[in-house]
Amino acid sequence: MLLVCDIGNSNIVFGIYDGSELLSSWRLTSRLNATVDEYLVMAGTLLDRQDGHGRISDAIISSVVPPLLPKLRSVILQLTGAEPLVVGPGTKTGLDIQYEDPRQVGADRIVNAVAAIERHGPPLIAVDFGTATTFDVVLAPNVYLGGIIIPGITISLDSLVSRTAKLPKVELSHVERIVGRNTSESIRSGMLNGTGALVDELVDRICEEQQIEPTVLATGGFAELVRDYSRRIQFVEPDLTLHGLRLIWERNK
């Protein structure tokens, strides 16, 4: 079995694959100050719950948080005995990366592009609602063109609350109308309708610039919620990054 691990700025997501089937997945909060021993306890407990001990023979990691990479690499090696493959320069992805400096592209964005191609085919735009919201543009044949990076929904909400005197912290949930009738509803409408409109407008501009009509898919924690406020998002793929890690491992084994 294969253990996949995506280290993000907010969460560390694990998955266990048996062939092409995702058996289970779980997440931990990303904590820069956590020790290897602390991560061993947290990850080991969750791995026990998934009945993963003793059955994992291989592992792969992608990371956008350099200080956490050696810690999780050590954790996986100690828990499974498998030396994980780390996605980075030299890893076979099957992509023609057109970034001016390919080393600057986050590993998660490359992994998402690989998975999106396999599931939908180019041209496509993958939107990831993570700590940052990213747009990744893939053209035929498997050309990773580049993308867009903007502050994520949580960052935007936190900034709004911390930089204003009276606006409250709210939990995002669906709104039935655009014009809010109270402060909470107004903030939720702004975040959800605003994010949906932003996605639609940026996709429209990409299409105009590149002369394409792409498949648009979304992933990340807010993808399902934002989908209802966007006319452009066609598919939501909650396990896109895990799927991409499995594909990259297969191309490098």
Question: Which residues are catalytic, by number?
Answer: 108
Closest CA relative to residue 249, chosen from 117, 136, 94: 94
Closest CA relative to residue 125, chosen from 134, 117, 135: 135
User: From the centroid of its chain, how far is CA 54?
Assistant: 28
Q: Which two tokens stand for residue 144?
A: 């990773």
- Other C-beta atoms closer than 10 Å to the C-beta of 70 total 12
Give me Rg for the CA atoms of the chain: 19
- What contacts 15, CB < 8 A, 6 or more positions away? 3, 4, 5, 22, 23, 24, 25, 239, 242, 245, 246
- Other C-beta atoms closer than 10 Å to the C-beta of 247 total 19
Please give the helix or strand (H or E) that residue 164 lies within, else none: none
| Strands, E assignment, the chain | 2-7, 11-18, 21-29, 58-63, 85-86, 96-97, 124-129, 132-139, 143-151, 215-220, 235-236
Looking up tokens 């609602």 gives 129
